[in-house]
Amino acid sequence: MDVSQEAEMLRNVPLFSGMSASELKLLAFTSQVNCFAPGEILMRQGDPADCAYVILEGEAEVLARTHAGEFVVATLGRNAVPGEIGVLTDAPRTATVRAKTPLRALRISPEVFLRLASSRPDRALHVMRQLSAHIANDLRALAALKEELSKAQAAAAQAATR
C-alpha cells in the first residue's frame, strides 16, 4: 500500500476527517505501518505514551488491569485510534492494547499528531469534540458496568443470606 492509499484510508478516521488531502498524505508519509500478530501488544498500561495508532485492518482488544487480573473492556476495529489521549495529555498509557486478529496499524508520533491536531483552531476544536465524545462513551460504559456490578453484588449478598 502506498502513501496515497494510506491517506485515503485516513480520510475515514473521524479524528482526521477535517484534514485536507495534502495533510492526510503528510500524516501517512510521516507515519510507519506496523503489523501485529494475534496476541501481540501494541501498548502496555503504565508505559509512556510514545505514539498513537490508527487501525487500518484487523481488531484489537483494550485490556484493563485490576487486582483480580486483566479483563477486556473494549474491542477496536478499523479507523480506531488507540493511544490518542496519552499522546495529547503526555500521560502514561491507561490500558493495554493487544491485537485480537492479525492487525495492520499506522504508528503516528506525538510530534506529528500534536502538530496536525493543533495547527488550526477549527481542527483543534474538532479533535476536542471527537475526544469528548470518546470520553462520554467511556463514561456511559463505566456507568453501565457499575450498575451491573451492583446488581451482581446484591444478588450474591442475597444468595449468601439464604
The domain that holds 47 is classified in CATH as 2.60.120.10
Q: Which domain holds residue 147?
A: 3-160
User: What is the pLDDT at residue 61?
Assistant: 96
- Residue 9 confidence (pLDDT) above 80: yes
Q: In the predicted model, is pLDDT for residue 134 greater than 80?
A: no
17: Cβ–Cβ under 8 A, 6 or more apart, which residues? 11, 126
| pLDDT at site 133 | 83
Number of domains in the chain: 1
Mean pLDDT, rounded, of the chain: 88
Tens digits of per-residue pLDDT, 81-109? 999 888 888 889 989 999 999 999 999 99
Residue 156 — pLDDT band, cuts 50, 70, 90? confident
The pLDDT, as a whole number, for residue 149 is 82
pLDDT at 36: 98
